[in-house]
């Protein structure tokens, strides 16, 4: 199964951008990753089983490309997280605070939490995307949640 690139861009561009941004923490790098991901899909000869298989493949490619960006020496035009936060619209101050806290997590926990809560992937699917075991995904989610809880609890205790 192959879908036209334009159709996939319309369907998954925002998801891929969010996954890339959660790793890069930089708008320009995330945009580049999105573009490179769709170029790689266009150039590949892969056949896919379903729409979900395509989506998982695109996100896996984007995550790998985003990690590669983080390891390059030249990371020009970085936008600090605070500056990017000003461009986002949140429904409540609590949702903004939660997003900021998630973005401060270590990459491996942040990525697992993003895929589970924001992209609605299950543990098995995340394991396939990240190429790690299901138990490792569960561990990352558990530790990420614990770090979030501790961080948010400190802020709540500090505010009182």
pLDDT tens digits along 137-156 = 999 999 999 999 998 887 66
Q: Is the pLDDT of residue 7 over 60?
A: yes
pLDDT tens, residue by residue, 69-124 = 877 755 555 556 566 556 666 778 787 788 888 888 998 999 999 889 888 899 99
- For residue 86, the model assigns a pLDDT of 63
Please give the model's pTM, rounded to 2 decimal places: 0.62
- For domain 89-160, which CATH number applies: 3.40.50.300, 3.40.630.10, 3.40.50.1000, 1.10.10.10? 1.10.10.10
Neighbours of 113 (CB within 10 A): 21
Mean of pLDDT over the chain:
86
CA distance 18 to 152: 22
Q: Is the pLDDT of residue 37 over 70?
A: yes
- What are the residue ranges spanned by the domains of the chain? 1-86, 89-160
Pick 24 or 155 by higher pLDDT: 24
The CATH classification number of 1-86 equals 1.10.1740.10
- For residue 101, the model assigns a pLDDT of 86
Cβ within 8 Å of residue 52, ≥6 positions away: none
- For residue 44, the model assigns a pLDDT of 93
Contacts 24+ apart (CB under 8 A), 28-33: 28/77, 28/78, 28/79, 29/66, 29/69, 29/75, 29/78, 30/66, 32/69, 33/62, 33/65, 33/66, 33/69
């Amino acid at each position: 199964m192959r879908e036209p690139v334009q159709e996939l861009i319309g369907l998954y561009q925002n998801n891929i951008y969010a996954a890339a941004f959660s790793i890069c923490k930089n708008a320009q790098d995330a945009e580049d990753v999105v573009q490179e991901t769709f170029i790689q899909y266009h150039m590949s000869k892969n056949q896919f089983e379903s729409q979900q298989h395509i989506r998982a493949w695109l996100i896996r490619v984007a995550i790998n490309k985003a990690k590669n960006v983080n390891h390059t020496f030249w990371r020009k035009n970085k936008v600090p997280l605070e500056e990017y936060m000003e461009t986002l619209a949140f429904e409540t101050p609590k949702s903004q605070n939660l997003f900021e806290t998630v973005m401060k997590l270590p990459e491996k926990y942040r990525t697992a939490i993003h895929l589970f809560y924001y992209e609605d992937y299950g543990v098995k699917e995340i394991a396939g995307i990240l190429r790690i075991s299901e138990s490792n995904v569960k561990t990352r989610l558990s530790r990420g949640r614990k770090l979030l809880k501790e961080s948010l609890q400190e802020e709540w205790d500090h505010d009182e």
